[in-house]
Amino acid sequence: MLTRRTDLPLDSDSLSRFLPWLIAFMVFLAVMTLAGVMALNATASRWNKGISGALTVQIAPLETSVEKEEMRLQAALTVLHATPGVADAKIISDAEIMALLEPWLGALGKAKDLPLPHLIDVELEDGADPDTAALTRRLEAAAAGASIDDHRIWLKRLINLIRTVEGLAAAVLALVCLSTVGTVIFTTRTGLAIHREAIEVLHHIGAQDSYIAEQFATRALMLGLQGGGIGLALAIPSLLGIGHLATQMETGLLPDFSLSALHWAVLAGLPPAVAVIAMLTAHLTVTKTLIKMI
């Protein structure tokens, strides 16, 4: 089909010269959007995997004596270890807390003077979903001032946000797709009008609609591949540039923008997918239009 010679001079249509550039632009947009979605999705998965099975218990410093503080911590640990679904619970040392705060507060020479809360890192069993309200009440009873920082709440909100962005990206992809389809329909109909006389001759000598449609479809496929290739070629350096810039930023401020081999394979599949859409659109447009002819 691809090597088939054509009986219609579709190469000479001025619109044929414009179509690959429009498809290139559409593919560029689609690749950038899809890459963004895949990077966000991967980040959300990593975050989800990293903290969905964890809680942090925070105990405000109330007692002045170290022994009493230690007793409160141990009481909280006892409650946690007795809670179904808790796999492990361990106290985060003062040194670790200071290391966490250092990026924001600088070197903490006089950390002992600061009223820092005590933290307990709780690891949950797979699939465990403890009642955090009840656990908070029991911890409060064992160690006054204890509270639970449930990461799942803000993680859920974050994932909701990412899903919303993904939905918007899907809408952008749909618009890109519709624009491509609309453009191919327009150029195909124009081509049919330009070559109407030749098409009539082909009909008179016994050509099926499909014979004529295949010529338009093959042309659309070739232009789609050409435009898609250009779009992808422009998008790859852009993506690599964004990835490079993201790694230059302070860690933690931006999600990791790296794409896996599977992601690159999906992106590489976009130009042929767009070309196939263009081909099918052209074929359908021609057959729908020719059916009005005798």
Partner 1 sequence: MNTKADDCVVRFENVGLRYGLGPEVLQDISLSMTAGSFHFLIGASGAGKSSLLKLMYLALKPSRGLISMFGRDIAVTGRRELPALRRRIGVVFQEFRLLPYLSAFDNVALPLRVAGVKENDIRKHVVELLSWVGLKDHLEARPPTMSGGQQQRVAIARAIIARPKLLLADEPTGNVDDQMALRIMHLFEELNKLGTTIVIATHNESLVRRLGHHCMRLEKGNLEMNAKISSVFGLTPETVT
Contact residues toward partner 1 (CB under 8 A) are 7, 9, 12, 197-198, 200-208, 211, 291, 294
Q: Are 229 and 275 in contact (CB under 8 A)?
A: no
State the nearest-atom distance from the C-beta of 193 to partner 1, in Å.
17
State the nearest-atom distance from the C-beta of 221 to partner 1, in Å.
20
Q: Are 217 and 282 in contact (CB under 8 A)?
A: yes
Please identify, using beta-carbon distances, which residue of 200 and 256 lies nearer to partner 1: 200
State the nearest-atom distance from the C-beta of 216 to partner 1, in Å.
15
State the nearest-atom distance from the C-beta of 197 to partner 1, in Å.
7
- What DSSP element (H or E) covers 178? helix 151-194
Would you give the end-to-end CA distance of the chain in angstroms? 26
Q: Are 184 and 192 in contact (CB under 8 A)?
A: no
Please identify, using beta-carbon distances, which residue of 12 and 64 lies nearer to partner 1: 12
**CA angle, residues 247, 250, 256, in degrees to nearest 5:** 45
Please identify, using beta-carbon distances, which residue of 216 and 257 lies nearer to partner 1: 216
State the nearest-atom distance from the C-beta of 202 to partner 1, in Å.
7
Cβ-based neighbour number of residue 154 at 10 Å: 11
Please identify, using beta-carbon distances, which residue of 154 and 211 lies nearer to partner 1: 211
State the nearest-atom distance from the C-beta of 225 to partner 1, in Å.
24
Please identify, using beta-carbon distances, which residue of 5 and 112 lies nearer to partner 1: 5
Q: Strand pairing partners for 120?
A: 57, 91
Please identify, using beta-carbon distances, which residue of 3 and 251 lies nearer to partner 1: 3
In angstroms, the Cα distances linking 253 to 154, 246, 249 are: 16, 9, 7
DSSP secondary structure letters along 24-62: HHHHHHHHHHHHHHHHHHHHHHHHHHHHTTEEEEEE---
Q: Are 230 and 20 in contact (CB under 8 A)?
A: yes
Please identify, using beta-carbon distances, which residue of 9 and 50 lies nearer to partner 1: 9
Sign of the four-CA dihedral 50, 55, 60, 66: negative
State the nearest-atom distance from the C-beta of 207 to partner 1, in Å.
4
Rounded distance between C-alpha atoms, residue 148 and residue 139, angstroms: 9
